[in-house]
Amino acid sequence: MVQINSNYLKLKAGYLFPEIARRVNTFSEANPQSNLIRLGIGDVTEPLPQACCEAMKKAIEEMSSYSGFHGYGPEQGYLWLRESIAKNDFQSRGCEISAEEIFISDGSKCDSSNILDILGDGNRIAVTDPVYPVYVDSNVMAGQTGSAISSGRYKGLSYIPLNAENGFQAEIPSESIDLIYLCFPNNPTGAVASKNQLARWVDYAVKNEALILFDAAYESFIQDSSLPHSIFEIDGSRECAIEFRSFSKNAGFTGTRCACTVIPKSLKGKASNGEVVDLWSLWNRRQSTKFNGVSYIVQRGAEAVYSVEGQAQIQKLVNFYMENAEIIRTDLCKLGYKVYGGEHAPYVWIETPKGQDSWEFFDFLLNKANVIGTPGSGFGAAGEGYFRLSAFNSRTNVKEAMQRISGI
C-alpha cells in the first residue's frame, strides 16, 4: 500500500475554521430564523476596484485575437508587473529592491508555506503565539516539528508570546533561532511594528545568520506615515529577509488570486556540505519547476492597482474597512471591553470578559448577539482570553453587530 506523509497525522484535528463552522451550523439549525453577522473569517467583502476589472476585461479581449493571445507566461511573472511593484511598493519607499527580485504568484498563503521547499531540515524555527496558522501547519506538514502537545503547541517549535503586557510585540529570543516568521500589521492581533522594532529583528537575524520571513499582507492598512510598510526599509534586511506581499486585502483579490514574494539576490543560506548558496536561485528553480505562473489576465488586473485610478480606488477600499475598524474599536471601548489593534490593520483584538475563555465568549456572542467572531485560542495557546473581530464587512452589518453587542 502507498505510504502517506505521516506528518499530516500530527495536525490538530479541531482546526479553527471548521470548528467555528460546526458551532455556527448547530446554532443555525436550532435557530433557523436568526440573522447571523459574520465578523469572523478574514475575507474581504467589497467588490474589486473598477480599474482592475477594466484591465482584466481588456486582457480577455486581447486573448481572443492571434496578436493578443498569451500562452504560458514567465514563471517569475511578467516583467511589467514586477517593475510596477518594484517601483511603487519598494523603490518609492527607499527600498533597494529590483524587479528581478520579485516573484509573482497566486497567493501569499502558498508562498509562505512553499518556501519550506528550499529550506533544509534541522532549522530552529520561531513563530509568534498567537500566529497565522499557515506558518505552523506548513512546518508540521514538512516534518519540521514534533508532535502536538496538550497546549495545542508543537514540540520542536519556539513560540514567542504576544500579549497585552508586551504590547503584542514579539520579544527578541534569547536563544539562537535560524528561521523567524513575522507578520506586521499583524493577523490576528492587529498590532504593527515600528522601524526600531523591525531594526532590532534585523540586527538579531544578521548577528545569528537567521532568516526572517516577513508577511506584509496588511501593509496598505498602515495609517501612520512613520511606520514601515516593508522589512526592506530596514538597513541590513537584504542579508536576512524574504517578504510576502499580496493583492488579496488591499485590492480585494482574495478570489482573483495574485501576490508576490521578494527575495533579495544578496540573501544566502548554507547547504549540508557547508556550501553557501543564493536563496534567490533556489526559489527561481523551485518556481520554474513547480509553478507555471499567474494568468495573464489576472496580472493585468494587478498591474492596474498601480494606475492613478487604481491607487485612488484601493485607498477608498482601505479607508472603508478602516472606518469599520474604528466603529468596532470605539463602540467596544465604550462598552468597557479592552480593545487592541484596529488602528493599522483590519482586525480588532479584544480581551474576553472576566470568567469567559475564548470559546465561551464565541458561544456567548453567537447566542446572545448572533455575531460570529474568531476565538483567540484558535491562533495559539497565548491567544486564550482574546477574541478577533474583523472589519471586513458592510457598514450596515458592522453597525448592526455593534448595536446587538451593546444590547447584551
Ligand X SMILES: *Cc1c(COP(=O)(O)O)cnc(C)c1O
Interface residues toward ligand X, by CB under 6 A: 42, 107-109, 132, 183, 187, 215, 217, 246, 248-249, 254, 259
How near is the Cβ of 407 to ligand X at its closest, in Å? 31
CA-based nearest residue to 132, from 111, 117, 151, 149:
111
How near is the Cβ of 183 to ligand X at its closest, in Å? 5
Specify the residue, 132 or 283, whose C-beta has the smaller distance to ligand X: 132
Using Cβ positions, the residue closest to ligand X within the complex turns out to be 107
Specify the residue, 90 or 184, whose C-beta has the smaller distance to ligand X: 184
How near is the Cβ of 44 to ligand X at its closest, in Å? 9
- C-alpha span between 283 and 103 (Å, rounded): 9
What is the CB-side half-sphere exposure of residue 49 using CA atoms within 13 A?
31
- C-alpha span between 394 and 33 (Å, rounded): 21
How near is the Cβ of 215 to ligand X at its closest, in Å? 5
How near is the Cβ of 305 to ligand X at its closest, in Å? 14
Specify the residue, 99 or 183, whose C-beta has the smaller distance to ligand X: 183
Helix locations, 177-233, DSSP H = 195-208
How near is the Cβ of 249 to ligand X at its closest, in Å? 6
Query: How many Å from the N-terminal Cα to the C-terminal Cα in the chain?
Result: 56
How near is the Cβ of 345 to ligand X at its closest, in Å? 10
CA-based nearest residue to 300, from 55, 53, 47:
55
- C-alpha span between 356 and 340 (Å, rounded): 18
Specify the residue, 160 or 259, whose C-beta has the smaller distance to ligand X: 259
Residues 6 or more apart in contact with residue 109 via CB below 8 angstroms: 134
Specify the residue, 155 or 290, whose C-beta has the smaller distance to ligand X: 290
Cis peptide before 346 (omega within 30 of 0): no
Instruction: Provide the 10 A C-beta neighbour count for residue 88.
Output: 13
Specify the residue, 170 or 369, whose C-beta has the smaller distance to ligand X: 170
Specify the residue, 82 or 249, whose C-beta has the smaller distance to ligand X: 249
- C-alpha span between 85 and 251 (Å, rounded): 14
- C-alpha span between 109 and 245 (Å, rounded): 10
Do 282 and 118 meet the contact criterion of CB atoms below 8 Å apart? yes
- C-alpha span between 94 and 116 (Å, rounded): 29
Instruction: Provide the 10 A C-beta neighbour count for residue 109.
Output: 19
Do 349 and 374 meet the contact criterion of CB atoms below 8 Å apart? no
Do 35 and 370 meet the contact criterion of CB atoms below 8 Å apart? yes
Specify the residue, 107 or 385, whose C-beta has the smaller distance to ligand X: 107
How near is the Cβ of 261 to ligand X at its closest, in Å? 10
How near is the Cβ of 133 to ligand X at its closest, in Å? 9
Specify the residue, 280 or 392, whose C-beta has the smaller distance to ligand X: 392
Specify the residue, 188 or 385, whose C-beta has the smaller distance to ligand X: 188
CA-based nearest residue to 254, from 50, 104, 83, 108:
108
- C-alpha span between 36 and 163 (Å, rounded): 30
Helix (H, G, I), strand (E, B) or coil at 252: coil
- C-alpha span between 247 and 44 (Å, rounded): 11
How near is the Cβ of 250 to ligand X at its closest, in Å? 10
